[in-house]
Amino acid sequence: MFDWGWVSNNITDEILPALIGHIYLSFVSVAIALLISLPIGILVSRYRKVYPPVTFITGLLFSIPSLALFALLVSVPGLGLGSTTVIIALVSYSLLVLIRNVVAGIDSVPEETRDAARGMGLTNRQILFRVELPLALPVIVAGIRIATVTIIGIATIGAYISGGGLGELIFTGISRNFPTRVIVGAVLATLLAVLADLTLLAVERYLRPWARTRRA
């Protein structure tokens, strides 16, 4: 049933490009989502009033079924089929989780730490970059982890609108009734998600050296 011969014949011209395409889609999407979420999260932590509308909009985006969102975006003039459309969809899925974690991370900074920082003469900008963001970073990375794993999964559907990636193998495998393609695509997507999860978990731990305590 599983055709090893096909795997070895197509590893360089089909499987590897699909894997690289998938990594590219996921990485670019998370990166763009992060660039949008960081300033919004910081803004929300300063002006609480904007939090409800931000959660409402990003929550709405998050709740649209992925296939429906892809279909909707394809019909937008100027977008059509292709990886750009897929990336837009993937970004819109990550915003909720990322913004929430940026806000939660900044909120987790103890008030007395902020007060001490201000009392010693740090400017607002220095408090943000030297105190709040470093302390929030592990929580932000935890959000990146969830977003990345989610995106790697949803990105497979992107092949439906010609976004490329491992979904390509799965969809063509189904339509040509060739299970080997489906299995290779599915297994690689899963491995990629697990690997990303573990890597980011390690990063999260590494960023919290102060939590590895040895009590005096």
Partner 1 sequence: MIEFRGVSKTYPGSSRPVVNDLSFEVFDGEICVLVGPSGCGKTTSMRMVNRLIEPSAGEILIDGEPNTAMSGTKLRRHIGYAIQQIGLFPHRTIADNIATVPQLLEWDKGRISARVEELLNLVGLDPDQYRDRYPAELSGGQQQRVGVARALAADPPVMLMDEPFGAVDPINRHRLQDEFLRIQGEIKKTIIFVTHDIDEAIKMGDRIAILQEGGILAQYDTPENILASPNSEFVSSFVGADRVLKRLSLLRVSDVELGPPNGDGLPRLSERMNLKDALSELIGAGVERGSVVSDKDAVRGTLSIETIQRLSHGAEQARGE
Q: Rule CB under 8 A: which residues touch partner 1?
A: 110, 112-123, 126, 131, 134-135, 209-211, 213-216
Q: How far is the CB of 46 from partner 1 (least distance, A)?
A: 18
CA distance 40 to 98: 10
Question: What CA–CA distance (Å, rounded) separates 85 from 67?
Answer: 12
Nearer to partner 1, 49 or 125 (CB): 125
- Least CB distance to partner 1 at residue 120 (A): 5
For partner 1, which is the closer residue by CB, 2 or 206? 206
- As measured in angstroms, the least distance from the Cβ of 144 to partner 1 is 18
Residue with Cβ nearer partner 1 (132 or 168): 132
CB of 212 to partner 1, least distance (A): 8
Whole-number Cα distances in Å, 148 to 63, 86, 105, 162, 176 = 17, 15, 18, 21, 30
| Residue pair 52/114 in contact by the 8 Å Cβ criterion | no
Q: Which residue has the tokens 């999964």?
A: 153
